[in-house]
Amino acid sequence: MTSIHVLNGPNLNLLGRREPGIYGTATLADIERDLGARAEALGIALTFRQTNLEGELVGFVQEAGLAGAGVLINAAAYTHTSVALRDAISGSGALAVEVHLSNVHAREAFRHVSLIAPVCAGVICGFGPHSYRLGLDALAHLMAARTPNSASKD
C-alpha cells in the first residue's frame, strides 16, 4: 500500500487560534481528518506528524524518505530558513510536495523564498486547508506513476 507521511512544522499545532485572518479557523486535527478521508478513498496509508523542532522535522523526513514513503510537508517557518531540511529531503531521496495554507508570495518578502522547493516535486500554497488536499492528490498521482501496478484512483 502506498504510504505518505504528512509532516507539519513549527506553530502549526496552533492552527485554529493562530492568526485566523491568515490561516483560517480549521485546526490541524480538522485538516488531518479531511486528509484521512481522502486517503481512504485513494487507498493510501497516512502517517501524521507535527513538531516545533527543526532537528525532529529533519528526522521525520529522513524516516519517510528512507522507507520509500511520500512526504507531504508544510515546513512552516523552516521553509524559509532550513538548509538541513532541504538536505534531508534530497539526502533521503524523499518524493516530497510542499504545501502552505497562505499564499506566501503575497506576504512578506522573507516568505517568498523556499529553501526546500527546489528539492520538492512541486509547491501548492494559498488555498487554506485545501492546499493539503491538493497536495495529497498530486503526491498520490506521482507515487502511482512511479510504482508499477498501483492503481491511481483519481
| Beta-carbon contacts of residue 54 (< 8 Å; ≥ 6 apart) | 10, 78, 82, 84, 85
- Cite the DSSP H helix spans in the chain: 20-23, 28-42, 54-66, 83-92, 130-146
Looking up cell 497536495, which residue turns up? Answer: 135
Least distance from ligand DQA to the Cβ atom of residue 51, Å: 13
Name which of 139 and 144 has its Cβ closer to ligand DQA: 139
11 binds ligand DQA (CB under 6 A): yes
Is residue 6 within the footprint of ligand DQA (CB under 6 A)?
A: no
Catalytic (active site) residue 100: yes
Residues that bind ligand DQA (CB under 6 A): 11, 74, 76-77, 79, 100-102, 104, 111
Catalytically active residues, by annotation: 23, 100
